[in-house]
Amino acid sequence: MQSLTEGENAVLGGTAAFIEGVILQPTLFYKNMRQQGKPLSLDPRVVYRGVSAGLLNEVGSTGVQFLLTGAIKHAVLGGSLRKMTDTEEISSALGAGCIGALFTSPVELVMIQQQNYNLGFVQALRHICSNYSINNGRWFIELTSFSTLNIGFSFSCLLFFFPLS
């Protein structure tokens, strides 16, 4: 990953995330429906509702995280070709994951609203804007959920234990 450009890192992460997003969409759907106490379905039109936001989330967040991880690694190394220490590897991935969560949180919120309320993408955005105002505080809680920050930590662990180079 150190020898790749930021663009190559983004493409690599985005491609892997697209494949992952399509394969894992049913699992995410069933998890969300179970958490909300809603009925489960085997109808692909229902199971894959919200897949566009889900793929935008997965491809975007993973691409951004790979790009940021590569950029942070290049900044830490300052052009040298030495092997990074474990602390530098973890810090680079953790930093990228945390910054990437700023993208992931709102997109994931849209996807979940699509699934919960049977809405299209634009309808979900309208629903969020009308029901989650800054004044009542729910927007901030949903937007910065602990589970989203977990994504950054998960990628950090994966990159530490399964380095790409």
Average pLDDT of every residue of the chain: 77
Q: pLDDT grade, residue 13 (50/70/90)?
A: confident
Q: Radius of gyration (Cα) for the chain, nearest Å?
A: 17
For every residue of 72-110, DSSP letters joined together read HHHHHHTT--PPPPHHHHHHHHHHHHHHHHHHHHHHHHH
The percent of residues above 90 in pLDDT, for the chain, comes to 4
Give me 129's structure tokens.
Answer: 């804007």
For 91-125, write each residue's pLDDT tens digit. 888 888 877 777 777 777 787 888 788 888 888 88
Is the pLDDT at 24 greater than 60, yes or no?
Answer: yes
- For residue 8, what are the contacts with CB-CB under 8 A and spacing of at least 6? 70
pTM above 0.85, yes or no: no
Q: Residue range 61-82: average pLDDT? A: 83
